[in-house]
């Protein structure tokens, strides 16, 4: 009897486990129909770079990461590398990335870095046709490029709305990693609106979809079979996929496409300010109820911000009706505005909420940015690890100061630990008066290490001493 009861209990448990597994399997998405419908519009992109003595155009995989060790035995020890040295350094198609067809008359969207520097571009369709593409236009700042094929009645993808994308959603990528056409990988959205280093104008979609070299420029789909992003970058310390992939939102990309079609290039809005993040201490010092907004650390000369009388120390909390919670959110918002349009900026200035009107300018070319803004003072050029500038005559008169230097930016280091914030005027350091940039540099260079010294500042017109210690 006991054995019978035991078997019955075991049967119940096993049945429960099986039902749970079935329920789990039923909850997982099935991508087969999506892949079948979308794949015909996904293309492989190869480029030709003629040999020029600098290593470009050297072989079928030059300009691309090396084939991993795990694949080498499939091709023999000489593999790709061996054939590369046997062939002359001249034009040869290189499979570099992916793309997708956005219109039946032959427009193809991909990444700028996939076709950068190409002498010719070859697009291979799903039916194995190979067509030479014309570069309509390319935008390095968003890493997007628009190609045109001389063809009609081509299959196209469905364009979705990336603004509706939410963390936790299933997404799927189709591309040509390492030249393997129409490879499918899936995952979920990890975050939206991600800002990456040196990528100020793209609010990236972060996912855990496996992306590898060759996936660049390929589409990211939602479960409705709509393109919501263009796969662009991965975060890696090993050179391979580590679970962090970044895609360009399709809603922003299609705005770029329209400009590339019309002009072959993109015109972006520009304020002419250098901004920084607002932390807890800065929020308190600038009269904010909590850390939010983009702190104006510098107003560039001859800029729209200067014309609108923005001040260093202003905190931008909303732009054109859109709230700005983090400083990284501001550049994409500004960049999407048509130059010449007048918008409203909501600011916190000296603890007061104000609204000003500003006519958005055109973002200068990357090479001209230094000319417009001048070289930024280095934060690490002094032991305090702060950026300083000469005090403006207006501020000196208002606060009745005969000299001093203004803090323009604060990086992690002794200055930040002492409590220095943007807008402080340093008038005395280690018992010596600070009259100008020269005297500041001289005194700062001779500060003792491991010993606290006083620094006198003027903050909003009020003098204040802070303890400063430079670590040995």
Dump pLDDT digits (tens) for 141-172.
999 999 999 999 999 999 999 999 999 999 99
Catalytic residue (choose from 98, 113, 176, 424): 113
Residue 23: inside a domain, yes or no? no
From CA 70, how far away is CA 437, in angstroms rounded? 58
Residue 341: inside a domain, yes or no? yes
Give the three-state DSSP class for 179: helix
**Domain assignment of residue 197, given as a range:** 158-263
Number of domains within the chain: 4
Structure confidence at residue 383 as a pLDDT band (50, 70, 90): confident
Catalytic residue (choose from 143, 314, 346, 424): 143
238-242, 359-363, 414-418, 430-434: which has the highest mean pLDDT? 359-363
Residue 166: inside a domain, yes or no? yes
**Which carries the bigger pLDDT value, residue 155 or residue 387?**
155
Is the pTM higher than 0.75?
A: no
pLDDT at 184: 95
| Residue pLDDT, tens place only, 34-87 | 999 999 999 999 998 775 544 333 333 334 434 343 333 333 333 333 333 344
If asked whether residues 319 and 389 sit together in one domain, one would say no
Q: What integer best gives the mean pLDDT of the chain?
A: 81
> Is residue 287 over pLDDT 90?
no
- Give me the torsion for CA of 74, 98, 30, 153, rounded to 10°: -120
Straight-line distance from the first to the last Cα atom of the chain, in angstroms, rounded to the nearest whole number: 79
* Sequence-ordered list of residues with C-beta below 8 angstroms from that of 12, at least 6 positions apart, any chain: none
Is 143 an active-site residue? yes
Structure confidence at residue 213 as a pLDDT band (50, 70, 90): confident
If asked whether residues 200 and 289 sit together in one domain, one would say no
Q: What CATH number does residue 204 fall under?
A: 2.40.10.10
Task: Find where tokens 């990309």 sit.
Answer: 253
Q: Mark 180-211 as b/e (b = at least 16 C-beta within 10 Å).
A: ebbbbbbbebbebbbbeeebbbbbbbbbbbbb
Is 113 an active-site residue? yes
Structure confidence at residue 122 as a pLDDT band (50, 70, 90): very high
Which of 226, 248, 263 terminates a domain? The answer is 263
Catalytic residue (choose from 216, 232, 285, 327): 216
For residue 207, CA distances in Å to 165, 187, 218 come to: 11, 7, 14
Whether 427 and 404 have beta carbons less than 8 Å apart is answered as yes
If asked whether residues 131 and 188 sit together in one domain, one would say no
Nearest CA to 420 among 379, 394, 383, 386?
Answer: 386
Is 216 an active-site residue? yes
If asked whether residues 273 and 250 sit together in one domain, one would say no
The upper half-sphere exposure of residue 251, i.e. CA atoms within 13 Å in the direction of its Cβ, equals: 14
From CA 172, how far away is CA 268, in angstroms rounded? 30
| Residue pLDDT, tens place only, 321-380 | 999 999 889 999 999 898 999 999 999 998 899 999 999 999 887 645 444 444 444 444
Spell out where 278-394 has E strands. 294-299, 315-319, 322-323, 342-349, 352-359, 361-362, 386-390
Q: What CATH number does residue 451 fall under?
A: 2.30.42.10
From CA 181, how far away is CA 126, in angstroms rounded? 9
């Amino acid at each position: 009897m006991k054995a019978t009861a035991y078997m019955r209990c075991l049967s119940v448990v096993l049945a429960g486990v099986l039902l749970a597994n079935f329920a789990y399997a039923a909850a997982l998405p099935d991508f087969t129909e999506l892949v079948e419908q979308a794949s015909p519009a996904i293309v492989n992109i190869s480029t030709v770079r003629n040999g020029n003595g600098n290593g470009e155009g050297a072989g079928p995989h030059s300009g691309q990461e090396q084939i991993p060790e795990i694949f080498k035995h499939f091709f023999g020890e000489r593999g790709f590398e061996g054939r590369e040295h046997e062939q002359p350094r001249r034009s040869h198609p290189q499979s570099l990335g992916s793309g997708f067809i956005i219109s039946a008359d032959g427009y193809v969207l991909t990444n700028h870095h996939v076709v950068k520097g190409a002498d010719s571009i070859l697009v291979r369709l799903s039916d194995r046709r190979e067509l030479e593409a014309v570069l309509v236009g390319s935008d390095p700042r968003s890493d997007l490029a628009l190609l045109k094929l001389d063809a009609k009645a081509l299959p196209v993808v469905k364009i979705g709305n990336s603004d509706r994308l939410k963390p936790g959603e299933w997404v799927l990528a189709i591309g040509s990693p390492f030249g393997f056409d129409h490879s499918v990988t899936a995952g979920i959205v990890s975050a939206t609106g991600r800002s990456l280093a040196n990528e100020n104008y793209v609010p990236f979609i972060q996912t855990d979809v496996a992306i590898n070299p060759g996936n660049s420029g390929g589409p990211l789909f939602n479960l409705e079979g709509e393109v919501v992003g263009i796969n662009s970058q991965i975060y890696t310390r090993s050179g391979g996929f580590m679970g962090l992939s970044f895609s360009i939102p399709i809603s922003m990309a299609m705005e770029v496409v329209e400009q590339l079609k019309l002009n072959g290039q993109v015109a972006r809005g520009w304020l002419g300010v250098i901004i920084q993040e607002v932390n807890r201490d800065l929020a308190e010092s600038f009269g904010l109820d909590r850390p939010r907004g983009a702190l104006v650390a510098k107003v560039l000369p001859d800029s729209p911000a200067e014309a609108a009388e923005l001040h260093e120390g202003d905190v931008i909390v909303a732009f054109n009706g859109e709230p700005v919670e983090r400083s990284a959110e501001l550049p994409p918002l500004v960049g999407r505005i048509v130059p010449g349009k007048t918008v409203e900026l909501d600011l916190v200035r000296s603890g007061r909420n104000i609204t000003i009107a500003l006519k958005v300018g055109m973002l200068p070319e990357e090479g001209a940015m230094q000319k417009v803004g001048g070289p930024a003072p280095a934060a690490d050029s002094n032991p305090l690890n702060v950026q300083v500038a000469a005090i403006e005559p207006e501020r000196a008169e208002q606060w009745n100061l005969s000299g001093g230097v203004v803090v323009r930016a604060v990086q992690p280091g002794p200055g930040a630990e002492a409590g220095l914030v943007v807008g402080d005027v340093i008038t005395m350091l280690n018992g010596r008066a600070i009259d100008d940039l020269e005297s500041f540099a001289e005194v700062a260079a001779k500060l003792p290490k491991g010993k606290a010294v006083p620094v006198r500042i003027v903050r909003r017109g009020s003098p204040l001493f802070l303890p400063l210690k430079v670590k040995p």
